[in-house]
Structure 1
Amino acid sequence: MKPVYRARQVVNAVNLSTPLGLLLAATATRPEGRVRKGPDGLLVAGGYRLPVPIASAFTVGNVILVRGDASRLTGTSRLLRHEGRHSTQYAWCLGIVMIPLYGICAGASMLLCGDWASYNPFERRAGLADGGYDRRPLRPFLRRS
């Protein structure tokens, strides 16, 4: 593993975001959705069943939680790379502090364009297209001003 990914792994363990992700994986996934090792120090758990967040996959620390079968996330998957970038964001955003920051940014994006990802800097930095998002324009009344 590259040193940068090892550092991300250590930082996300210390800042408690990965332990939180593992707790979610243990409590909010189906029994068949056990945690497996992914590339670059990431952990992947399938079978996430809570209604929030609504995304098909999301990351908490170094843990990627996936609705349904996690085997679709392979080492070459664009979605896996997108979620890996979110893992790095957890390391830089002081761990679980990223959760409320992300929520604030998602709300602002929703107000700006009606979509929680398009103007969310966390999603934009992780790559909108890699995450399966289309970039939506600003709401019409905001485009005029």
Structure 2
Amino acid sequence: MRRWHRVRRVVNYVNLSTPLGLLVARLGRARVTPGPDGLLLAYGYRIPFPVAGAFTLGNVVLTRHEEGRLTGHLLRHEDRHASQYVACAGVFMLPLYVVAVLVSMLICGNQASWNVFERLANLEDGNYPRRSPWWIRSKTP
């Protein structure tokens, strides 16, 4: 594990985002396993919110799917979110993320396309579409 991943793991524990992720995983009856780069992968999450293929709280990546689903591009996307928790001082990222969703919805009608957190984590890696702002889209007759 690289030095940055060790630092991120410690900081996300101290800023309480990883403990929150572990609590949510437990409440959602997810099975937590160690993942790459200090991440914890929580499979079989059963709570129907949020509606996403995967989501991250601190260093915990949660998914409704069974083991093996969190790989490749999607895992890199969620790994970037884990780093964003460090930059946002942990749980403070949650209200900032909600604001980013609302801004994106106002700009293009999609929760991710203009969400700064999703864009920085690479939209395509998270399987999100790139939508133009509503004022740029061509009008259909």
Q: Scaled by the length of structure 1, what TM-score is found?
A: 0.91
Task: Flag the 1:70–1:114 CA change in 2: closer, same or farther, 3 A.
Answer: farther
Aligned to 2:27: 27
Aligned to 1:52: 49
The residue correspondences of 1:1-145 to structure 2 (distance < 5 A) are: 1-29=1-29, 33-74=30-71, 77-139=72-134, 142-143=135-136
Give me the identity figure in percent. Answer: 56
- Aligned residues between the structures: 137
1:143 shift after superposition: 2.4
Distance 1:51 1:106 in 2: 18
**Which runs of no fewer than 5 residues in structure 1 stay unpaired?**
none
Q: Scaled by the length of structure 2, what TM-score is found?
A: 0.93
Distance 2:7 2:62 in 1: 21
SS of the residue 2:126 aligns to: coil
Q: Deviations over 1:41-74 (max 9, x none)?
A: 0000111122221111000000000012132223
SS of the residue 1:109 aligns to: helix
Distance 2:66 2:102 in 1: 29
**Which runs of no fewer than 5 residues in structure 2 stay unpaired?**
none
Distance 2:54 2:69 in 1: 11
Regions of 4+ moved over 2 Å:
none
SS of the residue 2:55 aligns to: strand
